[in-house]
Homo-oligomer: A and B are copies of this chain.
Amino acid sequence: MTKKDYTQVVEKIDQIAEKVYHDFEQFMVPTIDLPKRTKSNIHFDEKLNVWKYGNKKTQRTAKSSKGAYMLLRTMYMTDFIKNMIHSEKSSTLREMYYISEGWDRAKLHSQNDSNLLAEDLEVITACMREDFKLRPEEDGARVMGDLVVEEVTRNKKKRRIHCQEDVGDAGYSIPYNVEPEKISFKQMDVDFILAIETGGMFDRLVENGFDQSHRALLVHLKGQPARSTRRFMKRLNEEKNLPILVFTDCDPWSFRIFASVAYGAIKTAHISEYLATPATQYLGVTPSDIENYDLPTDDLTDEDVKSLKSELTDPRFQESFWKQEIKLQLKMKKKSEQQALAKYGLDYVTDTYLPEKLVELGMLKK
């Protein structure tokens, strides 16, 4: 958000207070409408190719004391956010929870309350919590590749960081806020993003110089990726036209990591268009790879099997590619880790496996 954009955020949250004020003026019980955030009200938007909320509405109304408290908390929270925007501060949800000690009867009673309120505000205003200056607890992911990021630091200085030449071997750490007022992308000499599940594999590709030899921007997903990581990749895809390839373990949980990068997650369905990149491709490890590369495996657990079966009916896995691969995995009853490629030596993944897969995906000529 630029300063001007923050004005828009303030306008949007002011509208909430105006609505409640208006209700009072009309001698009506104050209410706020918002979409239901339950599984029954989530659908897969075929046009946008991401998860979205449907038309079912729910209402926060002061008719009940519970609803009245929710509205009161919302008022305090919007005030808190306006103060942060004004004083150029940010806070975690946990800090806000403790700050609510001073909100009298609007005090939050659990950290879950603060999360629910933040989601409410996101849904009502169509802004993201980053716009409200609310920070996540989790650390940002690491990046390595031929890309210059310009970050506006806490001292309001613009700093250009080359994600190979200006960083240590641990790479550039993505900050919590990756919106245009904080981060912009400058020179770049890469062909695609390779998003990697585990730190061990990220460090392997860095050590082997895969970013240098194959014009790749390596991004460490750290398991289920943080919002900032998904948003960082989404922006690179949109602004720089960079394809995203996802490289994970071969099990149902890793397939969901891919799906959340590509199509979004139920929890963040209201901001899918900001976070999800439908053009994302799955590189591997696929169940077919287990056979083709004769990889070391573990047996699927009952949980794994259940999860694979539920993916067969998940709208995000309806392509024939996924149908075939998931059925194959259920048949072979095996799973594998991306580091299992080390069976053939520490360089096999960068010298053989990844180049072969890139040819398969049409990203590299034979």
Contact = CB atoms under 8 A, between A and B. Distances in A.
A61 interface: no
A135 to B, nearest CB: 6
Interface in A322-366: 337, 339-343, 345-346
Contacts of A102: 343
A23 interface: no
For A96, A98, A142, the residue with the greatest tally of chain B CB atoms inside 10 Å of its CB is: A98
A206 B89 CA distance: 11
Contact of A151 (B168, B173, B176, B339): B168
Judged by DSSP, the binding face of A is mixed
Contacts of A140: 170
Interface residues of A, number: 55
A175 B91 CA distance: 28
A116 interface: no
Interface in A124-180: 135, 137-140, 142, 149, 151, 153-155, 159, 161, 166-176
A199 interface: yes
B91 A342 contact: yes
A99 interface: yes
Nearest to A170: B173
Contacts of A207: 89-90, 154
Contacts of A343: 98-99, 101-102
Contacts of A339: 92, 94-95, 98
A203 interface: yes
Nearest to A203: B135
Given A95-B346, A154-B169, 17 more contacts: A84-B346, A91-B346, A92-B203, A98-B296, A98-B339, A99-B342, A99-B346, A102-B343, A139-B142, A139-B220, A140-B170, A151-B169, A167-B173, A168-B173, A170-B173, A171-B173, A176-B203
Interface of A: 84, 89-92, 94-96, 98-99, 101-102, 135, 137-140, 142, 149, 151, 153-155, 159, 161, 166-176, 198-200, 203-204, 206-207, 209, 220, 222, 296, 337, 339-343, 345-346
